Structure 1
Amino acid sequence: MWELFTHPSNIVFSISLCLMFFFGIFEMLLMLIGGGSQGLLDQFLPEDVTHNTDLGIDADQSLLTKALDWLYLGRVPLFVWLIIFLTVYSLTGFIIQAFTLHFTDTLFNIWVISPACLFLCMPLVRFSAQLIAKILPQDETMAIYSEELIGRTAVIVLGEAKQNYPAQAKVSDQYGKTHYILVEPEQNETFTQGQSVVLTQKTKIGFQANPNL
């Protein structure tokens, strides 16, 4: 086992495992003194990731943002996510190398196994981060998802809204917080400035609505 840990083909996994233990001990020390890593490294995440997570509004996102969100980056503290990643990545590499050594008496080259495990471990990283996100205590928040605005009354505040030509509207959520959104008619009609409409469904850029009768 020690030979597997120290073999040059596994040096990346060995380093990852050592970093995991170091970060884990550091996290426990922070918790013992009444702190924690919450927000310690989150400033390095793209702003739209942390912004969408904090607000809970699933606005249009870039491909990178969607990938980071899929990995639960921003939903758990980045420091904790790194511990999860290093653990899963190193264990994935060691397990694959152990099976390879058992059946073939050889090991994958480090330049092959390292990037391969990086991709192979990502679904496990996401699953683990998802579990941790449910366990970690969450601050009370007034964040909502955009679908929760469906059925609420919005007011057109800028321009005229036509099909495929949305206008800006404002709507209040269940907490009384105002959101500015893009609205277009569900039917072939026009919404004028100051008109009240009822949001009916989400679109790629905003909402469709019907007149508030």
Structure 2
Amino acid sequence: MWDLLTHPSNLIFSVCICLLFFFALLEVFLLLAGGGSQGILDQFLPDDLIPHKDVEVNIDGSSGLLIQFLDWLYIGRVPLLIWLIIFLTLYGLSGLILQSVLFQWTGQYITAWIMAPACLFLSMPLVRYSAMLIARILPQDETTAIYSDELIGRTATIILGVATPNSPAEAKVQDQHGLTHYILVEPEQDESFQQGQSVILTGRTKIGFYAMHLN
């Protein structure tokens, strides 16, 4: 067992287990102190993963894919410290267990350069479903998060630039909760919107919204 934990090919998994105990003790300490991990590490999350914050609507293609992947992993839906404990547990144990089984078959450990990314790939679905289970168990705060499609039909105000077809300008709009979102707007028809002008959002584009003049 000691050889399994200290072998160079397994050190990354052993370090994960050590970090697991550290974070678990930190969580227990925070709970005994009358708090919890909520907010301790969550402040480092991207704003799009914190639904209770008043943030800009960000639907840029490249960053959107990253946000979707992090959301798929349930990062932001459970306290980040809890998510790290789940990840370290499953990643560290999957690596050690797999290395132990392979050692029984082959008499040697597979190099960490192969096992580390392989176990990362294999453990991600387990991390997701474990975080999903924890998210259902933990008490949830009420949220004012909305889907960007819910902004369609609302009045926005151009605040920066001139919006023309295929050349959007920055605008601001309030949702049903009174929160302000900053978005990109371009005309749905062959017209232009000037700074300070109010428009009606009519649909989604790849990077923002279509709009029409406010009658």
Partner secondary structure for residue 171 of structure 1: strand
Q: Secondary structure at the match of 1:180?
A: strand
Q: Is residue 126 of structure 1 aligned with residue 125 of structure 2?
A: no
Matches within 5 A, 1:73-92: 73-92=75-94
Q: Superposition RMSD on alpha carbons, in Å?
A: 3.1
- 1:96 aligns with 98
| Change in CA separation of 1:209 and 1:64 when aligned onto 2, cut-off 3 Å | closer
1:150 counterpart residue number: 152
| CA 1:177–1:121: 2 relative to 1, 3 Å | same
SS of alignment partner, residue 121 of structure 1: helix
Q: 1:19 — aligned with what?
A: 19
Q: CA deviation at 1:58?
A: 4.4
Residue type at the aligned position of 1:208: Y
Equivalent residues, number: 209
Contact persistence 2:49–2:76 (CA under 8 A): no
Which position in structure 2 is the counterpart of 1:50? Answer: 47
Given the alignment, which residue of 200, 203, 206 partners 2:205? 203
Name the counterpart of 2:190. Answer: 188
Task: Give the corresponding residue for 2:142.
Answer: 140
Percent of paired sites with the same residue: 57
Shift of 1:56: 6.2
CA distance in 2, matches of 1:31, 1:156: 46
Which runs of 5 or more residues in structure 1 are unaligned? none
Deviates more, 1:28-37 or 1:102-111: 102-111
1:29 counterpart residue number:
29
Which residue is 1:41 aligned to? 41
Report the Cα distance in structure 1 between the residues aligned to 2:182 and 2:5, rounded to whole angstroms. 57
Amino acid corresponding to residue 187 of structure 2 in structure 1: P
Partner of 1:161: 163
Shift of 1:97: 1.7
Q: Sort the Cα spacing of 1:109 and 1:182 in 2 relative to 1 into closer, same or farther, 3 A.
A: closer
Pairing partner for 2:179 from 160, 169, 177: 177
Gaps of 5+ in 2: none
TM-score (norm 1): 0.77
Query: 2: distance between equivalents of 1:159 and 1:189?
Result: 14
Shift of 1:158: 4.7
Cα distance in structure 1, aligned partners of 2:148 and 2:13: 41
Determine if contact 1:56/1:144 at 8 Å carries over to the other structure: no
TM-aligned CA distance change 1:178 to 1:70, over 3 Å = same
In the TM superposition, residue 6 of structure 1 has moved relative to its aligned partner by 3.5
Distance 1:17 1:52 in 2: 27
Using the alignment, how far apart are the partners of 1:90 and 1:29 within structure 2?
23
**1:149/1:105 Cα in 2 relative to 1: closer, same or farther (>3 Å)?**
same
For residues 92-115 of structure 1, the C-alpha deviation after alignment (integer angstroms, 9 at most, x for no partner) is: 112322331343343213443234
| Greater shift in the superposed pair: 67-76 or 168-177 | 67-76
